[in-house]
Amino acid sequence: MKIELTPIGIIHSPFRNPAGSPIQPSGAKGVKGSIEIFEEYRAGLRDLEGFSHIYLLYHFHPSTGYNLSVVPFMDTRPRGLFATRAPKRPNPIGLSIVRLDKVEDGRLYIQNVDVLDGTPLLDIKPFAPQFDAQQEVRAGWLEQITSNVAEAKSDERFK
Amino acid sequence: MKIELTPIGIIHSPFRNPAGSPIQPSGAKGVKGSIEIFEEYRAGLRDLEGFSHIYLLYHFHPSTGYNLSVVPFMDTRPRGLFATRAPKRPNPIGLSIVRLDKVEDGRLYIQNVDVLDGTPLLDIKPFAPQFDAQQEVRAGWLEQITSNVAEAKSDERFK
């Protein structure tokens, strides 16, 4: 069984290269970008501006292949792929929560952008605390990591 | 440009029909389910058990077609599709945060399951507060909704 997807827009950001990019939106605070939504989907943007934060689902487009064991950016030990956010995955779909500043003429103006310029957008979902906030969270290997995600940068390892 | 995806597993839940199912994991507190990960991907599950919560990305498999304007389950007014979590979307990818109880023999035992039995799983990502918690959130039309998401149930509207 195969599932076929088509981009609904293109994400623009200051990042042209994986190396040196922030590894998560929390490492890209204040980084501005925009999303061009293709004309045929723009009617679906109504009411979106009321949300301060949105999920972006996108295609990790430079990614090909994957390893089920990876050394994450903030770690020195190999971890199971699904316990990481590494971009090379069996289904290379990225997930980021960004701040939404404005919607104008089919363009979304966003902040905290951690994705590469030219990334194909697949879906937008509103972020809502009543759905998405969680209590009593344990964050596995990430809890033992002392390096600061706000300062961690991508390198060439998932190229 | 087309993107092709392949399921990495199958989600099992008590919900055989869209009508009557919870509309979000927050409406499915304590509902237990499991996920069978296909053999070839199981090595990627290492270290996952350390996380109490995980994102599931899955295919809204009964969904065909979409409308860019929908009346959400908890509302009476039409809203732009991308300002909702409605299942019929240009790219019908679902996103749920569930509680992870245990990983055993390639099977994930989960709670707060709001998806239909037999749903094809596309990806798993660890939920980590340092990436995913957000401050100063505005939740648009959802903030005006008085009905309780914990009690709201799906109906036939997106069948």
pLDDT in tens, B65-99: 999 999 988 788 999 999 999 999 999 999 999 99
The two tokens of residue A5 are 């997807």
| Tokens matching residue B87 | 């299942």
CA distance B118 to chain A (A): 13
Distance CA A26, CA A47 (A): 25
**Residue B131 pLDDT > 70, yes or no?**
yes
pLDDT at A88: 94
Per-residue pLDDT, averaged over B150-158, amounts to 70
Please answer whether residues B11 and B56 qualify as being in contact, where contact means their C-beta atoms are separated by less than 8 angstroms: yes
Amino acid at the residue B9: G
pLDDT at A150: 64
On the question of pLDDT at A48 being above 90, the answer is yes
Answer whether A59 sits within 8 Å of B24, measured CB to CB.
no
Q: How confident is the model at residue B150 (pLDDT cuts 50, 70, 90)?
A: low
- Cβ of B82 within 8 Å of Cβ of A127? The answer is no
The pLDDT score that the predictor gives to residue A93 is 96
Higher pLDDT, B159 or A45: A45
Q: How much is the mean pLDDT over chain A?
A: 89
B128 touching A, CB under 8 A?
A: yes
Q: Which residue of B has its CA nearest to A147?
A: B130
* Mean pLDDT, residues A13-31: 81
Contact B12, B36 (CB under 8 A): yes
- What integer is the mean pLDDT of B32-57? 97
**Tokens in use for A91?**
């289904």
- Pairing label, strands B3-5, B53-59: unpaired
Dist. CA A147–CA A151, nearest whole Å = 8
Find the mean pLDDT for residues B25-45: 92
What's the pLDDT band for A67 if we cut at 50, 70, 90? very high
- pTM value? 0.91
Is B6 in the A-facing interface, judged by CB distances under 8 Å?
yes
Q: Work out the minimum CA distance from A70 to partner chain B, whole angstroms.
A: 9
Confidence class for position B159, pLDDT limits 50, 70, 90: low
**Chain A closest CA to B155's CA: distance in Å?**
19
**In the predicted model, what is the mean pLDDT of chain B?**
89
Which residue in B has a C-alpha nearest to residue A8's C-alpha? B90
29-58 of B, contacting A, C-beta below 8 A:
41, 43-53, 55, 57
Percent of chain B with pLDDT over 90: 60
- Assess whether pLDDT exceeds 90 at residue B156: no
| Residue B148: pLDDT over 70 | no
Stretch among A110-124, B10-24, B88-102 having the lowest mean pLDDT:
B10-24
Q: Which B residues 98-117 touch A at CB under 8 Å?
A: none
